[in-house]
Structure 1
């Protein structure tokens, strides 16, 4: 990989960590230069603005988490197991999240709700992609006979994502992983009621 591409990727990766911990609004260009070890002129050689860095940084953070989710999902044989992966990758969110700072989707969606339309669109696409993947898992569970045929696939996907993000938010806020872990048990028990006996 050419040196320039390595430098650009380094800026994206370090900025992704910075934004996911301090937020976009809470991170200055000086924070980016400090985090990357690259002077302002070097940053501007690769990016026209902080917005441009942020857009690529959040996409990078999301891709890291998606990669970890995909790897863990491949190890599961059931739709329930695959859906629970979404919570299990965050089971130790306080000390060891799959990406430093917690869930990039949750952090970006919260921060960019109305303030930054471009970042909000990245969050919206991340949300749609996550829900689509969950719906495909659930549909596979219906087709295989794991879930009841009349299951509302969209409702279960939305509920699963809500339980995941809520558990992450509460665990991070309280500094205790027990909320994600309780949600894993509760979601598992609920999904078992949706299975064919």
Structure 2
């Protein structure tokens, strides 16, 4: 990687953490300058605007989270275990989240809902991609006869996604990981009602 590319990536990585903790509106160019050690000119050499930094930083942040989810899923065999492993990525969301500030998808969705259409569109695309991943895991479980064939996979994927993001929000808000833990535990009981018992 050339020096210019390294510098641009450095800006993206540092900005991703700042935006995820402070939000787009709450993060200034001065704070990005302080975090990167670069001048304003040094930053704008690579980016045309704060919006452009935010969009590329969000892409980076979502890729980091996706890598964590992919590793968690790959480390398990059954569909239910794969789904529950997703929660383990945020098991200590209060102290050790995959990216400082919590879930970038959740944070961006809340902040950009009515204020920043481009960020909202990127968050929406990421949500749809994550829903598709959950759907595929569940579909594989049906195909392998682990889960009942009459499942409404779209509804169940939406439910899993909502439990995860809701529990992350509650744990972050209270400063207690118990919401993610209980979300996982209760989801496990629910998913097992759809499990086909081996004979």
1:76-135 Cα distance to aligned partner (Å, 9 max, x none): 001011111221110100000011110010001001001011000100010010000110
Residue matched to 2:31:
31
More displaced stretch, 171-180 vs 84-93: 84-93
Residue matched to 1:11:
11
**TM-score normalised over the length of structure 1:** 0.99
Residue matched to 1:193:
193
Q: Displacement of 1:18 after TM fit?
A: 0.2
Runs of 4+, deviation exceeding 3 Å: none
Q: Displacement of 1:16 after TM fit?
A: 0.2
Q: Displacement of 1:144 after TM fit?
A: 0.5
**TM-score normalised over the length of structure 2:** 0.98
For the residues of structure 2 that align with 1:85 and 1:25, how far apart are their CA atoms?
33
1:136-172 Cα distance to aligned partner (Å, 9 max, x none): 0000000001110000101110000000001000000
CA RMSD after TM alignment? 0.6
Residue matched to 1:75:
75
For the residues of structure 1 that align with 2:113 and 2:87, how far apart are their CA atoms?
23
For the residues of structure 2 that align with 1:176 and 1:4, how far apart are their CA atoms?
41
How many correspondences in the alignment? Answer: 197
Residue matched to 1:87:
87
For the residues of structure 2 that align with 1:19 and 1:93, how far apart are their CA atoms?
17
Residue matched to 2:42:
42
Please list every run of 5 or more consecutive structure 1 residues that lacks an aligned counterpart in the other structure: none
Q: Displacement of 1:21 after TM fit?
A: 0.3
The within-5 A match list for 1:1-197 is 1-197=1-197
